[in-house]
Structures are given as C-alpha cells and as structure tokens.
Structure 1
Amino acid sequence: MASLNVYSVIVVLFLTCGAVMATKENDQIIKENNCENKMGLPCVLEAFPSIFNTGSISNKCCGEFVVLGKVCHSTLVKRTLENPLFKDLNPVTIIGRSIQTWNNCLALIDSPSPSA
C-alpha cells in the first residue's frame, strides 16, 4: 500500500514539473518571437473572444492576426489554456476555434480584393 502512495506522489510531481516546463517553454517562445507586441490591444480584444468565446474578427484585425504568425498564435492560445482562470474551458473546443479563426483570417488576407 505504501508503494502505491509513493507512486502516486511521483506521478503528481512528474505531471506538475511537466506543466511548469510547458509554461516556461511557452513563455520562452513568446519572448523570443516578441509575440506580445505584434498586435494592438483593440485587435487582441477582438481576437480573444473569437477564439475563447463567440465573436468575430474584423478584416483589419485579421491582418494583424496573420502578421502575429502561427507560432505566436498557437503558443499564446496554449499559454492561455494553462492559466487556472480558464480551467473550465474545453481545450478541444478552444483549439478548434483557434484553428478556424486562423484559417478564416488567412483566407481573407490571401484572397484578392475585388477591384472597384
């Protein structure tokens, strides 16, 4: 019975260390890529609900969102999901919305604008 408790403690420590390492890795990626400075606050406030709730993102903000880059976008979403404030969110749903928002913005930016 004691070995089961020791095993449980080891598993908990391993999972905790893994979560801390993942957070540090995400923070390092964000810092190295200057992710937090690539989008203006108004567009961040549009993009966030589009991914973490329901909402839409304007063409202008889609442009900033795509300039942010896929690495920054994915890492910021992962870091947000690690935050205890968002523990009740379904990661599969959020990642799905994240991919959908990214693809929609990418298609919008890549599509030629209609000529007047």
Structure 2
Amino acid sequence: MAKFTSQIALLFIVVGLVCTFVPVFSVNESEAKSLWDTCLVKISPHCALDIIAIVFGNATINDTCCHDLVQEGKVCHDTLIKYIADRPALIARAALYLKKRDDLWSHCIAISKTA
C-alpha cells in the first residue's frame, strides 16, 4: 500500500512539473489532453522524473526507464521535452536540452536493442 501511495505522489509531482514547465498559453486544452492520453500514461512517474532530471540536469538513467522511454515513443519524448525546453526560463539553453534529449533517445534505443 505504501508503494502505491508513493507512486501516486510521484504522479502528482510529474503532473506538477509538467504544468510548471509548460506555459498555459503554448498548449491548447485539446493538445494537452492528447499528450496526457497518449504519452504520459505510457511511462511511470519515476521514469518521467528521471528523464526530466537527465535532460535538464546531470542524472543518469537505468535500463528499465530506457525501455519505458522507448515504449513511450520518440514523438511523445520529443514533444514533451520540447514543450518544457520552450519555457522562457529555459529557452536560452533549448539547443543543449534538445541535444541531450536526442542523446538520451539514442542511448535508450541502443539499450533496448541489446536486451
């Protein structure tokens, strides 16, 4: 039960981070719902936080999260990271974040092929 509670808490953290980093005016309601329905539900909250920490920080990813990321799909990964990187506070380093996004995707594809 404690594990379930912590997973719910992580889900709320991920949703909060996405809401914080995604400007309301850049995502219309139907587009945000589409992203939620097709992308965020495919990946665990823990892995979503790890991916954000990798792209926007200096964290590392484990093989399980790599597999989740590949299952989420490149379009979802690219779109979600682009939305976050387009925040006014982050846009000056958007090129770096997009490169890290692409590097992470390549790394995870390589991990998935070896499993």
What TM-score comes out, normalization by structure 1 length?
0.67
Contact 1:29 1:72 survives alignment (8 Å): no
Over the aligned positions, Cα root-mean-square deviation in angstroms equals 2.1
Q: Which runs of 5+ in 1 are unaligned?
A: 1-19
% identity of equivalent residues? 23
Query: What's 2:66 paired with?
Result: 62
Query: What's 1:27 paired with?
Result: 32
1:54, distance to aligned residue in structure 2 (A) = 0.9
Query: What's 1:9 paired with?
Result: none
Following superposition, which runs of at least 4 residues in structure 1 exceed 2 angstroms of deviation? 22-29, 82-88
Contact 2:86 2:94 survives alignment (8 Å): no
State whether structure 2 residue 77 is matched by structure 1 residue 73. yes
Contact 1:23 1:82 survives alignment (8 Å): no
Distance 1:30 1:49 in 2: 20
Distance 1:26 1:52 in 2: 23
Q: Which runs of 5+ in 2 are unaligned?
A: 1-24
Which of 1 and 2 has greater Rg? 1
Distance 2:33 2:48 in 1: 20
Contact 1:29 1:75 survives alignment (8 Å): no
